[in-house]
Amino acid sequence: MEKECLLTNNCNFSGIRPAMADLPYPQIQAAGQNLAYANLLSIDYCGSVSELSAITQYINNENRLSCIKCPVAKTILGIAMAEMMHLQKLGELVNLLGGNVDFMAKYQNGAKLWTPAYLSIPENPGKMILADIESEKAAIKQYRVHINMIKDNCVTAVLERIIKDEEYHIMLLQSLLKEI
């Protein structure tokens, strides 16, 4: 006997686009292979403060908010999509620099496999958004440290462009706090 479908999520996500600054990205290129730079970018790719962590945290928040705060969930999905593009660009750079994209953040004292333990997933919607804002600020800070360590203008141009999106995300998230 078939059960009748009684519950429906009416939040329609068709047409959602990545939430990004309206600026082009520089071409993915490097002055030459450099494993030290690839290792730094592996941290941005899948470390505790990383694009992979951001994507996972945003998708989790979007899933939990879609039935109760559809407009907020749509914005969060757009931010997650932009973070996916950052992840893709970082992966290209890691490979170009001679590194390997294997979900291992390569630190000076060893490598660490990405884990969902890196995420901040509060239950309260307002606290979710605040955690997202803090994650964006931490990402910007980490990118700036890495920009100062990387002496390759081709690579740092991509990181500078990613920062523009992260700053835009903070602005969007701050506006969402008013809707919660």
- What's the CA gap between 171 and 175, in Å, rounded? 6
- Percent of the chain clearing pLDDT 90 (strictly above): 92
- Residue 16, pLDDT score: 97
| Calpha distance 80→118 (Å, rounded) | 16
Q: Which residues contact 77 (CB under 8 A, 6 or more apart)?
A: 13, 16, 58, 59, 62
Q: Is the pLDDT of residue 1 over 80?
A: no
Mean pLDDT throughout 52-76?
A: 96
Confidence of residue 37 (pLDDT cuts 50, 70, 90): very high
Please count the residues of the chain.
Answer: 180
pLDDT of residue 3: 86
Tell me what the pLDDT averaged over the chain comes to.
96
d(CA 78, CA 84): 10
Q: Which residue's entry shows tokens 């292979």? A: 33
The predicted model gives 41-66 an average pLDDT of 97
pLDDT at residue number 120 = 87
Helix (H, G, I), strand (E, B) or coil at 105: strand
Q: How far apart (Å, rounded) are the C-alpha atoms in residues 73 and 67?
A: 9
Q: Enumerate residues 6+ apart whose C-beta is below 8 A from 123.
A: none
Of the chain, the end-to-end C-alpha distance in Å amounts to: 41
The two tokens of residue 180 are 């919660």
Average of per-residue pLDDT across 163-169: 98
Q: pLDDT for 111-154, tens place per residue?
A: 999 999 999 899 999 999 999 999 999 999 999 999 999 999 99
Residues 54 and 11: their CA atoms lie apart, in Å, by 22
Each residue's pLDDT tens digit, 69-127: 999 999 999 999 999 999 999 999 999 999 999 999 999 999 999 999 999 899 999 99
- Please report, rounded to a whole number, the percentage of residues in the chain having pLDDT higher than 70: 100
φ, ψ at 69 (rounded to 5°): -140, 70
